[in-house]
Structure 1
Amino acid sequence: MADRFRITLAQLNPTMGDLAGNAAKARDAWATGKAAGADMVAFPEMFITGYNTQDLAMKPAFHRAAMDEVDRLAQDCADGPAIGIGGPYVEDGKLYNAYFILQGGKVAHRVLKHHLPNETVFDEVRIFDSGSISGPYVVNGLRIGSPICEDAWYEDVAETLAETGAEILLIPNGSPYFRNKLEVRQNLMVARVVETDLPLVYLNLAGGQDDQVFDGGTFALNPGGDLALQMPLFDEDIAHIDLLRGDDSWRIEQGPKAHIPGDMEQDYRAMVIALRDYCGKTGFGKVLLGLSGGIDSAIVATIAVDALGAENVRCVMLPSEYTSQGSLDDAKDLAENLGCRYDYVPITESRDAVTNTLAPLFEGRGEDITEENIQSRLRGLLLMALSNKFGEMLLTTGNKSEVAVGYATIYGDMNGGYNPIKDMYKTRVFDCCRWRNDNHRDWMQGPAGEVIPVSIIEKPPSAELRPDQKDEDSLPPYEVLDAILMLLVDAEASVEDCVRAGFDRDTVKRIEHLLYISEYKRFQSAPGTRLSPRAFWLDRRYPIVNRWRDQSGA
């Protein structure tokens, strides 16, 4: 029996639904593993389809095509290392999230996911059937247990595998990013290692899919919990690990340990990758956005340039009589700093035409938010016209604070196909801008240095839809607003919890009211990068019609 076993770990970025393309990636990685003398080449969860498939996996034509692709992959890769790859599997009318072991030109073994996640962005109980807990499979004499993703978050699957003879745990994952997620994963996997006394490999996907970013970060642990390998966060990567047999167990030889960046860099990288992959996988090569001279559009423009390159980003200033000279200067300076196209499209004539058209109907009524929203919707109309004419996807730029309380105009500044900062609160947007000015990485396509003018960061936020308007005319200071929202949204706290935390009850009740009445706007809003476990869309799902209000402590 051999005393060494090599596994090639393929931390790669599949494209949802591109079965042939994902299989081609698998063949290339398999060839790399074969050349390196691997015994097995391992891929993450649901790699053949991409992940998170949502209801697509339930479509018979789709899951049959995916299984056929796995069979072809097995036949094409018969002469060389075994393959472990995730995909859907149907048996006796039941649909499973499966991990296929390919050897000798066929599917030699299947592992079926037992624990189906049914929280945050996952609805697997709705989509898949729960598989039975099975024992290990054998590749070149090594008994391998493969709990699939969620199965490794519980004790029972890993313990059963250890009790039935597994010598290593190889865990395929489709684990999406949220802030500090790697630490959560590593703590859980250390627990599995301590419980089983087995070496463990945690293999994760990379790349963006809709709102989710799979951040890679594959790692390996030896008995006792010692880190043997750390692959990079976010990057596609292929690594080889060697297991060595000792007197009575296996250990993983020490491998490279990638640097783990801080949480602000991780958030920024997630937003860049999410936008790059959303555009690349949907076929949009170019984007545009309205550049207001404010901080939100500034960071979105910077993310877009870092993701796609300046030549693929169009910034459009659409001023009215309320647009300050400072905003005009700041917007132009930002576009020049980034090196992207800058267009100047005043809305005054368009606004006058709409105002004159509506004047007979509005006669006798004073100006109010209607006239403010007309400006925003004109900007949305013009930006969508540019999007249609030039085939550039429109980006929307509302931060999580604004999205939460509806401080945005539906069919106006909410127009767009993607929102990179949808899950980033306003106070963190300020911090993110400062971080980007101070830091540059090789994965950024934009220039280094202070690309966002300091004047944009330092001036009071304003929608500039009426004279001398400031955000704080309508909302509490963002430091207060964000702290309340973090309680109400991210912590699902009660009004009384917020009051106990030191916030004024009337202010909390007003924010709660705005949060609930804005649900219809969020229902129609563009997807955006998920940075937290309580992002608006799949993480937090509330009814649009909702008369309930929290009366705790009243």
Structure 2
Amino acid sequence: MALNIALAQLNYKLCDFTGNLVRIRRAIEQSASADLIVFSELCLSGYYPQDMVEEPGFLARQQAVLDQLLALSRQTAAALVVGAVTPNTGMGKPLHNSLLMIRQGEVVLTYHKQLLPTYNIFDERRHFEPGPDAPAVLVFNGKRIGFLICEDAWNNGGNDYTIDPVQALAKAGVDLIVSINASPSNVGKPAQRHGLFADMARRSGVPLVYVNQVGGNDQIVFDGGSFVVDPSHGVVHQLPLFEEATESLYFDGCFHLNNQSLTVPVSAAMEEDSEFYYRQIVLGLRDYAAKVGFRQVVIGSSGGIDSALTLALAADALGAENVVAITMPSQYSSVGSVSDSVDLCRNIGVSLLEHPIAELVGNYRGGFEHNFATKPSRLTVENLQARIRGTILMEYANHFGHLLLTTGNKSEISVGYCTLYGDTNGGLNIIGDLYKTEVFALARYYNQHHGCEFIPLAIINKEPSAELSEGQKDTDSLPPYPVLDEILKLHIEGARLRPVEYSAAQAFVQQLQQNGEQATIDRILGLIAKSEFKRRQAPPIIRVRNRAFGNGRQMPIAAQH
């Protein structure tokens, strides 16, 4: 007997139980002929609710929508596979991360996630107790179906955990594995998933259905990309990346779509990293603004590449009419800092306002000298300009109700090449996980994607400068960005890099050492360590790489490095 399986890849808002139920209900309506509708991990609350699971009303609010879902299931022939937080009635942490199979108003199977990740951005053991080491198997429509939750499938060859839920299901003789997931996205992740699950299906000899959530929740973006795996052919079908989708397939031992057998492997890879970054950042900003409650954003426009890219991406995410740019020239600003901002904003249709700061800087300098009986140092004046600009931007954001986007890239944030309470002001940073070389590459991709030079080449080709003092260039304080970025990648991400990136960074840094540049490397590593206090106070960053600042890299401030 063939099984009609619907994959529901949806965009959830954290703890918006009622809104999430609306999405689930819509997917059920779209899958009227399905036998089994599969949703993602913790779909009732969205992933990851963090300490909200400890709030007194959390389980009651979830139960209220679960009761509605149970009632809804009585009106459909399909069985539903959903993810939910459930209470732990035994020893250990008070909760489980669970999978529920619902049919005709009853929960016919409950499975608790066995492998709870506590690495990188994950900290599930903080709230959840692992489920028992036992396979979850249910005979449904003549098929023995085994169930997993996300990390349960990531014990590659049994090297990371003492138990292997996949192996247990294979030994139980299942015909199909259904895995519900909330797998955060980063560059290279879709291809990594394909490789992992294709290998897992091949080794176990069992076909697999993988359903992931999509959308941005705070800094984390989920890319969807749900798929099915044939043991002989690998991943043979995938839902879109970065989009909601609900789609039905038939399974009779093999997968079929539109009466066609799915036997041709599909690729998860995009043509280039910049395309991936573009789609992830645009979705991440759009969801962050919508879920937090902002319609419009404001950005300081310096005429440099970072603010230009931020403006362009924001216009695509929210609409140009919802983006405001402010240029704030000082006595050290080049003519191009204003004219290039004018050209950029005209190209992308963004409103540009001007608020010169030279007089404000002069007043502050005079007040400093008068009250403290000494002239402010060059560094003090440089930081003063950044802080005045940051204050103006926050002033505008407060008055008009806009979200302020800060514009620092990962290279600058790594080494502290930014001013606390100045250019770090803001509610979100959308390019803060991109190294400077990636910022340039994404700006070029942006123009290519739009088929037009929206970001002027004058900005892309301009030598980077903070323009806080006469003739200042970034290279006065830092190595050239192609050099700096390889040092940073190796130190910050290391073996978490994709293999090709890791080998390239290792070879590059080794060559620097052979060329007598160890002092440069040591200086950069020292700057990274000394700048932790700035990163701790910086706005959230949309994560696009494997190891991002924030909860993905937890380092002490007061430590000997």
Q: Give yes or no for TM over 0.5.
A: yes
Equivalent position of 1:97 in the other structure: 97
TM-score of the superposed pair, with normalisation by structure 1? 0.93
Retained in 2: the 8 A contact 1:233–1:260? no
**Given the alignment of the two structures, is residue 228 of structure 1 paired with residue 236 of structure 2, yes or no?**
yes
Pair 1:517-2:520 in alignment: no
In structure 2, what is the equivalent of residue 142 of structure 1? 143
Q: CA deviation at 1:437?
A: 0.7
Cα distance change, pair 499–177 in 1 and its aligned pair in 2 (3 A): closer
Q: 2:216 is matched with which residue?
A: 208
Cross-structure match for 1:453: 456
* Deviation sequence 1:275-315 (CA, Å, 0-9, x none): 10000100000000000000000000011001000000000
Query: What is the Cα deviation at residue 362 of structure 1?
Result: 4.0
Q: Deviations over 1:446-484 (max 9, x none)?
A: xx5110000001010000111111011111111111111
SS in structure 2 at match of 1:46: coil
Q: Equivalents in 2 of 1:521, 1:234: separation in Å?
A: 31
**CA spacing shift, 1:65–1:165, aligned 2, 3 Å:** farther
Aligned to 1:381: 391
Aligned length: 531
Identity %: 40
Q: What is the alpha-carbon root mean square deviation over aligned residues?
A: 1.9
* 1:52-87 superposed Cα distances (whole Å, 9 cap, x missing partner): 222222334213322332232111221211111111
Q: Is the 8 A contact 1:135 1:164 kept in 2?
A: no
Distance 2:250 2:506 in 1: 55
Question: Are the counterparts in 2 of residues 296 and 398 from structure 1 also a CA contact under 8 Å?
Answer: yes
**Larger displacement relative to structure 2 (91-100 or 79-88):** 91-100
* Alpha-carbon offset, residue 505 of structure 1: 1.1
Counterpart position of 1:159: 167
Paired with 1:67 and 1:106, the residues of 2 have a C-alpha distance of 14
CA contact (8 A) 1:71 1:106 kept: no
Q: Secondary structure at the match of 2:428?
A: coil
Deviates more, 1:54-63 or 1:533-542: 54-63
**Contact 1:232–1:260 (CA<8 Å) still a contact in 2?**
no
Residue 410 (structure 1) aligned to one of 398, 415, 420: 420
Deviation readout 1:406-454 (Å, 9 max, x if unpaired): 00000000000000111100011111111111113xxxxxxx5110000
User: Which of 183, 188, 191 is the aligned partner of 2:196?
Assistant: 188
Quote the Cα distance in structure 1 between the aligned partners of 2:506 and 2:458. 38
Under a length normalisation based on structure 2, what TM-score does the superposition of the two structures give? Answer: 0.91
Could you tell me which residue of structure 1 aligns to residue 48 of structure 2? 52
CA separation of 1:321 and 1:365: change in aligned 2, threshold 3 A: closer
* Structure 2 CA distance for partners of 1:458 and 1:223, relative to 1, 3 Å: same
> What secondary structure does 2:545 align onto?
coil
Q: What residue number does 1:171 align with?
A: 179
Match status 1:30 vs 2:38: no
Deviates more, 1:51-60 or 1:257-266: 257-266
Give 1:527 deviation, angstroms.
Answer: 0.8
2:357 maps to 1:347 = yes
Instruction: Give the secondary structure class of the aligned counterpart of 2:110.
Output: strand
Query: Could you tell me which residue of structure 2 aligns to residue 247 of structure 1?
Result: none
Q: Distance in 2 between matches of 1:362 and 1:121?
A: 45
Q: Which amino acid aligns with 2:50?
A: Q
Q: Return the alpha-carbon distance in structure 1 between the equivalents of residues 508 and 66 of structure 2.
A: 52
Deviations 1:486-545 (A, max 9, x none): 11111179x999863424111111111110010000001111111111111111110011
Deviation at residue 226 of structure 1 after TM alignment: 3.4
The residue number in structure 2 matching 1:421 is 431
Compute the displacement of 1:128 (Å): 0.7
Cα distance change on mapping 1:487 and 1:496 into 2, 3 Å: closer
Structure 1 residue aligned with 2:472: 469
Matches within 5 A, 1:103-122: 103-122=103-122
Taking the aligned partners of 2:18 and 2:530, their CA distance within structure 1 comes to 45
Which whole-Å deviations, capped at 9, do the CAs of 1:255-275 have from their partners, x for residues lacking one? 596885222201111111111
Aligned equivalent of 2:85, options 80, 85, 88 = 88
Structure 1 pair 334–499 and aligned structure 2 pair: CA distance change class (3 A)? closer
CA contact (8 A) 2:486 2:508 kept: no
Q: Which amino acid letter does the alignment assign opposite residue 524 of structure 2?
A: I
**Structure-2 residue corresponding to 1:530:** 543
Distance, in Å, in 1 between the alignment partners of 2:292 and 2:105 is 34
Identify if the C-alpha distance between structure 1 residues 501 and 69 changes in structure 2 by more than 3 Å, giving closer, same or farther. farther
Indicate if the aligned counterparts of 1:67 and 1:88 stay in contact, CA closer than 8 A: no
Distance 1:449 1:415 in 2: 31
Higher mean Cα deviation, 483-492 or 315-324? 483-492
The separation in 1 between residues aligned to 2:302 and 2:223, in whole angstroms, is: 32
Partner of 1:86, secondary structure, is strand
Structure 2 residue identity aligned to 1:171:
S
The residue aligned with 2:489 is: 486
State the distance in 2 between where 1:276 and 1:513 align.
36
Structure 1 position 344, deviation (Å): 0.5
Indicate yes or no: 2:512 matched with 1:502: yes
Could you say which residue in structure 2 is the equivalent of 1:445? none
Give the Cα–Cα distance (whole angstroms) in 2 for the partners of residues 83 and 62 of structure 1.
22
Tell whether the 8 Å contact from 1:147 to 1:170 is kept in structure 2 after alignment.
yes
Distance 2:224 2:177 in 1: 18
C-alpha distance in structure 2 between counterparts of 1:366 and 1:75, whole Å: 70
Deviations 1:174-207 (A, max 9, x none): 0011111111111111122112211111111110
Counterparts in 2 of 1:99 and 1:366: CA distance versus 1, 3 Å: closer
Question: Which range moved further: 478-487 or 71-80?
Answer: 71-80
